[in-house]
Structure 1
Amino acid sequence: MSNKSFALSEDWVVVILGLTIIILALSGVIIPKPSFTWANVEDLSAKVLSLENLKSIGAQFALVYVTAIAGALLLGKNLKSLLIVFPIVMILTVFALILAGNESVKNYNLEAVIFSLAIGLIISNCFKLPQWFKDALSTELYVKIGLVLLGTTVIFGDILKAGMLGLVQALLVVVSVWYFAYWVCRKLKIDKEMSLMLSSAVSICGVSAAIATSGAIKGDSKKLSYVISLVLITAIPMMIFMPYIAEWLNLSQEVTGAWLGGSIDTTGAVVASGSLVGERALEISTIVKFSQNVLLGIAAFFISVYWSYSKSVDDETKKDKPTLKLIWERFPKFVIGFVFVSLLFSFVVTPEANAMVKDSLKSIQGLWFALAFTSIGLETNFKDLFKQDNKKPLYAFLIAQTFNIIVTLIIAMVLFNS
């Protein structure tokens, strides 16, 4: 069962779905925030597993399930597998939330997204999941809906302040890291197509940049899949360990957020790592990552220009001249949703209305992020890194990523160390 006659781009669907959830809340459809906090078995039974709390969890499930179905319909995707897979992802995610809610676990500052990711990774690397199951996972959709909802907690003045600094950082990082990564790739005699996709993935915004670059140059799908595997798998240790390195270096939340947002490749991993540090770090890391995302369309345009006139491409590819339209096509539209929601809650929504919906929307936002990381775990297999005989792209990626981490840290300390 699918709907192929009508489909929107994923980013616009995200904006529609995120705004619908917010409008429902502001209209009075407020789902109580479930509690996952417990200290012992008695607490677990009396609080988390109480009938009232289970009702709240069930209400959240109903909301996100219907939203996911609506998203699939708007995107023209197959519904049959989603109807089966999504409840499984939700059950695994709730289990992760319960584990993270234990007071002993909280003492180690381990967020639910870590458990979501770990559960998904254990399952995907110990069992062979069917392709139809993986195809039903919509990681990017869940992350982006959560990011639109994040706009309800970010004051617009913060966006302007951090956004200007973030844009400066993004320009410096993207240009320096992209050229370094491309130079390393060419030194290792990696072909131009793979070099362009890999350099964009490291320097701009991971999976989205790799896909945009592949689209701009009509890249090979197998090479694109390999680059995406590199991005997803290397993002996991960065997401987990960088917050602790930042704490060891005694970095402020602002500097840490800018460092995480500028160096971790996937938006979801940025959100998860920022959450481990604190709310301010989460805000800054998200805004900085958005600044890099905004450059995606411009980068895809210039890569198209280069590729169209490169001597290594065929005449048919050269006929597809890049236009300014390409910038708009590659521009991440969900950023518009985030900014609009921030404006709405900064200048339109009254403090009283905000107080009524704040806890509910923040809880739903966290649930979307947790669902996304369960999905990332389920679709990630470490064997993917070692499928190819040629390991040079892996070496180039790791060298470029190390350079990225160091350069971004230095720039973040200069710009955000107020």
Structure 2
Amino acid sequence: MSTNTAVATEKSKLILTEDWAVVVLGFLIIFLFIAGVIFPAPAYSWSTGADLAEKIFSLGNLARIATQFAVVFVFSILGAVATGKPVKATITVFPLLYVISVVALILAGNSEVKYLNLEAVIFSLSIGLLIGNLIILPKWFRDVLSAEMFVKIGLVLLGTGVIFGDILKAGSLGLIQALAVVLSVWYFAFWICRKLKLDDELSMMISSAVSICGVSAAIATAGAIKGDSKKLSYVISLVLVTAIPMMIFMPYIAQYIGLSQEVTGAWLGGTIDTTGAVVAAGTLVGDTALKISTIVKFSQNVLLGLAAFAISVYWTYTRKAPESAAAVGKPSLGLLWERFPKFVLGFIAASLLFSFILSPEIIAPAKDGLKSIQTLWFVLAFTSIGLETRFSDLFNASNKKPLYAFLGAQLFNILITLLIAYLLFN
């Protein structure tokens, strides 16, 4: 049997492609919650050792952690069945992923860590990297790590929290700024990446991360272009690390140069790449700054689905599949549909469902549980990325140019967003 025939036979055994599988699994989770099957979110916030014992390791909270494990465990097995991955190996590997992810969530839940705004994903990525580089993991273990699938399920669930009505209530200025910042910063970032001769995958991820909404945008872009997970983990590390000094120093810079709370909030929301860091920075300035910064950041989050759609269309029409590299002309509409990331449709459908179809009475009981399980899928994904990434590949001389590109794009982001925020909100 030829290689192509073997691949075709293997694909024919799949129930669903991975892109459709994540949409189906994501909506199954959503339907469970809106049908009233609510899985209470575990508590991970704590301050002292006594808090840790009383809140995190209480029988009630351990039961919630175990329940959440059962839910994601079942869905990860369904995902393995649907996409043709070894089910037995998945059953063996997934509990370890969950334990590491829970440890990361507990570390991130500490009050002092929250003050520094170190998110759970950076702990899960770090722990995964540590284990993956100190221990030689067998190939069968690495082969069943499903970082991309976990990320895409999380992105479909993320759509439930992006409510278009909130933007309409808040007014149009936030959306105008978001559009201006995303377009100008994205093109500048892509230009500087090209000048430094970075490959297109990395250029796309860096440009989206700096201009749209940080980690989520990098993830969505990587999914849309089927990007390398090692490059994704590098970009995410840059986003999380640079957000910390920006969160700390930008409020004081704004105060020093005499910006109003409105302008400061718009500047913070349009520049800082993680929502948690935006909230923390806005809180340092005041209630008005916090409100405006949240609106602007949320406006940029709304653009995530549209941006992923545009990127996927651009990627499909400017890059040829390996098997047709010698072909002349653009891909057909059929090929565009085949390569288009279906999780983007899931993200948009979830947002429309929660924005315009479901009543507040149905949404309210499901909101916290959905947010918790969405976060868990992201943390599981970064645990997987860490376990399958080698330091020797991640940190080497060739990564200096991406660092320079990211910092250059971020500096432009800070300056252009300050100008736009001043013109719109002063």
TM bucket normalised to smaller: 0.7 to 0.9
Q: CA offset at residue 99 of structure 1?
A: 2.5
The alpha-carbon distance between structure 1 residues 42 and 255, as it changes in their structure 2 partners (threshold 3 A), is: same
* Separation of aligned partners in 2, 1:92 and 1:71: 20
Moved more, 363-372 or 331-340: 331-340
- The answer as to 2:183 corresponding to 1:178 is no
Residue 45 of structure 2 is matched in structure 1 by 37
* Separation of aligned partners in 2, 1:143 and 1:276: 25
* Separation of aligned partners in 1, 2:240 and 2:269: 12
Q: Which of these residues, 338, 345, 365, is aligned with residue 374 of structure 2?
A: 365
Moved more, 316-325 or 62-71: 316-325
The alpha-carbon distance between structure 1 residues 200 and 238, as it changes in their structure 2 partners (threshold 3 A), is: closer
Residue 238 of structure 1 is matched in structure 2 by 239
* Separation of aligned partners in 1, 2:158 and 2:165: 15
* Separation of aligned partners in 2, 1:211 and 1:32: 29
The alpha-carbon distance between structure 1 residues 71 and 114, as it changes in their structure 2 partners (threshold 3 A), is: same
Moved more, 170-179 or 360-369: 170-179
Residue 349 of structure 1 is matched in structure 2 by 358
The alpha-carbon distance between structure 1 residues 298 and 47, as it changes in their structure 2 partners (threshold 3 A), is: closer
Q: CA offset at residue 119 of structure 1?
A: 1.7
Q: CA offset at residue 64 of structure 1?
A: 0.7
Deviations along 1:267-325, one digit per CA (max 9) or x if unpaired, are: xxx67867876893764453344443222223224523xx79xxxx9996134643344
- The answer as to 2:135 corresponding to 1:133 is no
* Separation of aligned partners in 1, 2:323 and 2:106: 55
Corresponding residue pairs, total: 380
Where do residues 21-32 of structure 1 align in structure 2 (5 Å cutoff)? Answer: 21-32=29-40
Per the normalisation by structure 2, the TM-score is: 0.75
Kindly indicate whether the alpha-carbon contact (under 8 Å) linking 2:121 and 2:382 is maintained by their aligned counterparts in 1. Answer: yes
Percent of residue pairs identical: 39
* Separation of aligned partners in 1, 2:136 and 2:392: 12
Kindly indicate whether the alpha-carbon contact (under 8 Å) linking 1:260 and 1:285 is maintained by their aligned counterparts in 2. Answer: no
Q: CA offset at residue 381 of structure 1?
A: 2.2
Q: Which of these residues, 384, 402, 408, is aligned with residue 397 of structure 1?
A: 402
Deviations along 1:149-172, one digit per CA (max 9) or x if unpaired, are: 223232213567666654554443
Kindly indicate whether the alpha-carbon contact (under 8 Å) linking 2:100 and 2:124 is maintained by their aligned counterparts in 1. Answer: yes
Deviations along 1:171-210, one digit per CA (max 9) or x if unpaired, are: 434433333322332xxxxxxxx74444444435657767
* Separation of aligned partners in 2, 1:146 and 1:15: 10
The alpha-carbon distance between structure 1 residues 135 and 408, as it changes in their structure 2 partners (threshold 3 A), is: farther
5+ long unaligned stretches in structure 1: 186-193, 216-223, 262-269
Q: CA offset at residue 66 of structure 1?
A: 0.9
Kindly indicate whether the alpha-carbon contact (under 8 Å) linking 1:163 and 1:291 is maintained by their aligned counterparts in 2. Answer: no
Q: Which of these residues, 125, 133, 155, is aligned with residue 117 of structure 1?
A: 125
Deviations along 1:211-270, one digit per CA (max 9) or x if unpaired, are: 876x8xxxxxxxx86xx5344224313313324314411275654454355xxxxxxxx6
Kindly indicate whether the alpha-carbon contact (under 8 Å) linking 2:202 and 2:231 is maintained by their aligned counterparts in 1. Answer: no
* Separation of aligned partners in 2, 1:249 and 1:410: 12
Q: Which of these residues, 259, 281, 286, is aligned with residue 271 of structure 2?
A: 259
The alpha-carbon distance between structure 1 residues 257 and 232, as it changes in their structure 2 partners (threshold 3 A), is: farther
* 2:60 maps to amino acid: E
Residue 56 of structure 1 is matched in structure 2 by 64
The alpha-carbon distance between structure 1 residues 75 and 101, as it changes in their structure 2 partners (threshold 3 A), is: same
Q: CA offset at residue 90 of structure 1?
A: 0.4
* Separation of aligned partners in 2, 1:75 and 1:89: 19
Residue 258 of structure 2 is matched in structure 1 by none
Residue 294 of structure 1 is matched in structure 2 by 309
- 3-state DSSP class of the match of 2:161? coil
Kindly indicate whether the alpha-carbon contact (under 8 Å) linking 1:116 and 1:371 is maintained by their aligned counterparts in 2. Answer: yes
